[in-house]
Amino acid sequence: MRVRRRIVVLALVLGALAAFDGFLLLRRDRYREETARLRTGMTDLERQRADAIVAADADRATLMIELLRRQAQGDEALHLAVNVDSSFVALDRGTARLRTMTATIGPERRVGTAPDTMHAVVPRGMRVVERLLGKDDRYELPAWLWLDRGLPVPAVRSGTGWTGAQAIVTTGGVLIYSTPTTGPLADSSYVMPGAVRVSAADLVAIRENLTTGTKVYFF
């Protein structure tokens, strides 16, 4: 009987996943159709201008990332380099790489509830360390984090060790943390949008090398 129930539940889950995949494919086809319709209504000159704008934006983003990478390599002071595309954090001094740490980059998406929403983005650019947190420190997490996890927002949004054994807060509010044992981030399958997660062992190992004001390059 239990085996039969498990089979039924598994079939329902697979059916739901298949339906969701179909929905995504339908949305993708509609997006392509709408794009094609809009381009059909453009003149040749308008299409050329639109393509040039898209290409220019992509080129600017690529150029910015490359400039940040070179700026980090030329920085002779101890600093952190966060490679978003390759998912790692490095402790560098100039071109010398002292430690490489595997990282999980939080997704980019709109969070919160309307009309109070915001777009949590993958960080880019140069920031500096603003706070260094230990296992006994408290750090107030944003209310949208609970909503993103489908949890009620508590009256107190900070707790001891909620950002792991060690954590880094940069200017702009970017959080580099390790998986804690308590709090809303105590889930290895979830990474806070717009944040970076590395292992506790790596953060503990580099802690003594960091101070407030240490530069952090995101590229």
Give residue limits of the domains in the chain: 2-63, 77-218
Query: Residue 39: its pLDDT value, please?
Result: 57
Tokens of 200: 């506790």
Write down the pTM of the prediction.
0.70
pLDDT for res 110: 93
- The DSSP annotation for 97-148 comes to EEEEEEEEEPP-EEEEETTEEEEE----EEEEEEEEEETT---PPPHHHHHH
Length reported for the chain: 219
Residues 6+ apart with CB under 8 A from 39: 47, 50
Instruction: Give me the phi and psi of 24, to 5 degrees please.
Output: -65, -40
Distance CA 51, CA 42 (A): 12
Q: Write down the residue that tokens 């101070």 correspond to.
A: 211
Give tens-digit pLDDT for 141-192: 999 999 999 999 999 999 999 999 999 999 999 999 999 999 999 999 999 9
d(CA 150, CA 91): 35
Give pLDDT tens digits for 29-73: 554 565 565 556 566 665 566 555 555 554 566 666 777 788 888
Superfamily in which the 77-218 domain is placed by CATH? L,D-transpeptidase catalytic domain-like (2.40.440.10)
Q: What is the pLDDT of residue 64?
A: 67
Which amino acid belongs to residue 137?
D
d(CA 180, CA 196): 13
| Beta partners for residue 97, in sequence order | 92
Rg of the Cα trace of the chain? Answer: 22
Residues linked to residue 148 through DSSP beta bridges, in sequence order: none
